[in-house]
């Protein structure tokens, strides 16, 4: 027959079958951790903020309901009465797997830890024990994979980019429509003395993801109705006037609607994707020759018939063949001869310009001499006239 200590170290079902009592099981730390794993997975958890950290908490009555209801299960404490469930809660407190808290701000769900080891149906208990790390590690690996995939987004295939684009655009449009309708409904009900919100906790940063979508809506009478009735009546008149103005402008709104539909069509067609190649980039891409194409053109040029004579006997040009020192010297000599020819041409052009300028100067001097001779003849004629 197994000893009570050995029975307490076994699983809850085996310990109960061997005759170990609940009190004996609660003395073993490993057994209490098994109980904590079961409770952490089965008690409905809620999120709150405690000491600037997000924590999971539950009420004492939820622990009692889970332990006293249902059939026996693996790692479930064998509790038959409410007192047995309270003993389990006290064991969790004693071993530091949970700690007691109190509500500091009910609306924002802020808790404050308290120093007590009392457990009751109305107690607020915050989990310290995090349970198995397997799921957490799997989520961490998944997060790393997702982040890495997003960093490699520029090299994704085009169909994957388009798919992500469709999903992102659809989500953004849905949120835009939701928030617009949400605000309009709130304004309409506010003018008649009510406060109506769709997803009232959606923008509450102190709540978790699940709690941000609960409740779906809230509807209540305004608390400051008597103090703000003047503003509400004024807002109602403004709202009615705006609706009447919109009703009298059907043509402009039809054009606006058509423009928005055209914008949505372009949005879903992917015409606004930033990495879509432009016409210029596509033309440049098509104009670039590949190495294989260049080698093919050179081979065709070498294979074509020459002009005859000794040129046909020359070997074909091979761009990959090594060059000799004589070839390099010949290239240098050819470059020098070409440079000298250019210099001689420039000097000849400069000499021609100088000769043209000198000829122009000589023509100018001859013209001046002719003019002087004509002036002398005129003076002689004048003298003869005076003598007469």
Do residues 89 and 209 share a domain?
no
Q: Spell 63-77 as b/e; 16+ CB within 10 A means b.
A: bbbbbeeeeeeebbb
CB distance 60 to 119 below 8 Å = yes
Average pLDDT of span 65-79: 83
Based on the domain organization, do 158 and 111 belong to the same domain? no
Q: Is the dihedral of CA 88, 63, 75, 84 positive or negative?
A: positive
Per the domain annotation, does 276 fall within a domain? no
CB within 8 Å of 8: residues ≥ 6 apart: 15, 20, 24, 25, 27, 28, 31
Give the range of the structural domain holding residue 64, as residue numbers without chain letter. 4-132
Tell me: do 117 and 26 sit in the same domain.
Answer: yes
Section 107-119 average pLDDT: 86
Query: Are 128 and 152 members of one domain?
Result: no
Domain match, 203 and 127 both: no
Taking each helix axis as running N to C, give the angle between helix 158-191 and helix 229-247, from 0 to 180 degrees, rounded to the nearest 10: 120
Q: Count how many domains the chain has.
A: 2
Contact 93, 119 (CB under 8 A): yes
Most confidently modeled of 181-185, 328-332, 354-358, 379-383?
181-185
pLDDT per residue as tens digits for the range 38-65: 888 888 888 888 888 888 899 998 888 8
Same domain assignment for residues 79 and 168: no
Do 262 and 160 share a structural domain? yes
Same domain flag for 8 and 128: yes
Can you tell me the distance from the alpha carbon of 209 to that of 213, in angstroms, rounded to the nearest whole number? 7
Same domain, 228 and 117: no
Task: Assess contact for 76 and 137: CB atoms under 8 A.
Answer: no
DSSP 291-316: HHHHHHHHHHHHHS--SSGGGGGSPP
Rounded CA separation 32/25 (Å): 7
Q: Per residue in 212-257, pLDDT tens?
A: 787 888 888 877 777 777 788 888 888 888 888 777 776 666 777 7
For range 161-181, the mean pLDDT: 88
Q: Is residue 107 domain-shared with residue 226, that is, in the same domain?
A: no
Percentage helix, strand, coil for the chain under 3-state DSSP, each rounded to 5: 60, 10, 30
User: Has residue 16 been placed in a domain?
Assistant: yes
Mean pLDDT along residues 33-42: 87
* Long-range interactions of 6-10: CB distance < 8 A, separation 24+: none
Q: Is the pTM of this model over 0.85?
A: no
Give the chain's mean pLDDT: 76
Report pLDDT for 7. Answer: 46
Final residue of a structural domain among 269, 295, 321: 269
* pLDDT of the residue at 101: 92
- 126 in any annotated domain: yes
- Reduced to 3 states, what is the DSSP secondary structure of residue 56? strand
Residue 148 pLDDT > 60? yes
Q: Is 78 among the domain residues? A: yes
The pLDDT of 154-176, averaged and rounded, is 87
Q: Are residues 125 and 15 part of one domain? A: yes
Which CATH number belongs to the domain containing residue 62 in this structure?
Answer: 1.10.10.10
Residue ending a domain, among 105, 132, 159, is 132
Question: Shortest CA distance to 128 belongs to which of 95, 151, 150?
Answer: 95
For 272-326, how does the pLDDT look when each residue is reduced to its tens digit (9 = 90+)?
555 555 555 556 566 555 677 777 878 887 776 554 444 455 555 555 555 555 5
The reply to whether 198 falls in a domain is yes
Q: 184 and 261 share a domain?
A: yes
Final residue before a domain boundary, out of 101, 132, 163:
132
Q: What is the DSSP letter of 51?
A: T
335 lies in some domain: no
d(CA 241, CA 66): 57
């Amino acid at each position: 027959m197994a000893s009570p200590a050995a029975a307490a170290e076994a699983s809850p079902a085996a310990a109960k079958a061997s005759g170990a009592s609940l009190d004996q099981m609660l003395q073993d730390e490993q057994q209490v951790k098994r109980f904590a794993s079961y409770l952490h997975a089965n008690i409905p958890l809620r999120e709150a903020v405690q000491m600037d950290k997000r924590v999971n908490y539950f009420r004492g009555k939820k622990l009692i309901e889970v332990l006293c209801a249902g059939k026996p299960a693996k790692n479930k404490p064998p509790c038959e009465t409410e007192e047995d469930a309270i003993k389990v809660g006290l064991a969790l407190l004693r071993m530091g797997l949970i700690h007691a808290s109190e509500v500091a701000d009910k609306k924002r769900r802020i808790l404050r830890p308290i120093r007590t080891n009392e457990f009751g149906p109305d107690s607020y208990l915050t989990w310290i024990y995090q349970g198995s790390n397997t799921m957490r590690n799997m989520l961490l690996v998944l997060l790393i994979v997702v982040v890495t995939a997003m960093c490699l987004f520029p090299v994704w295939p085009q169909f994957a980019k388009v798919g992500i684009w469709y999903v992102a655009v659809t989500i953004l449009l849905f949120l835009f429509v939701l928030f617009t309708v949400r605000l309009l409904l709130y304004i309409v009900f506010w003018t008649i003395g009510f406060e109506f919100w769709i997803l009232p906790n959606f923008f509450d940063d102190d709540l978790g993801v699940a709690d941000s979508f609960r409740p779906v809506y809230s509807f209540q009478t305004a608390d400051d109705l008597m103090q703000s009735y003047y503003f509400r009546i004024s807002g109602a008149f403004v709202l009615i006037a705006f609706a009447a103005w919109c009703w009298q402008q059907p043509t402009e709104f039809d054009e606006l609607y058509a423009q928005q539909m055209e914008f949505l069509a372009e949005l879903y067609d992917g015409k606004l994707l930033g990495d879509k190649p432009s016409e210029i980039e596509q033309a440049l891409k098509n104009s670039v020759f590949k190495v294989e194409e260049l080698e093919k053109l050179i081979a065709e040029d070498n294979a074509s018939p020459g002009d005859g004579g000794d040129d046909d006997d020359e070997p074909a040009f091979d761009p990959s063949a090594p060059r000799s020192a004589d070839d390099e010297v010949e290239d240098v000599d050819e470059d020098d001869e070409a440079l000298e020819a250019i210099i001689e041409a420039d000097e000849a052009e400069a000499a021609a310009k100088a000769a043209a300028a000198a000829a122009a100067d000589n023509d100018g001097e001859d013209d001046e001499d002719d003019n002087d001779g004509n002036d002398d003849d005129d003076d002689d004629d004048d003298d003869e006239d005076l003598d007469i």
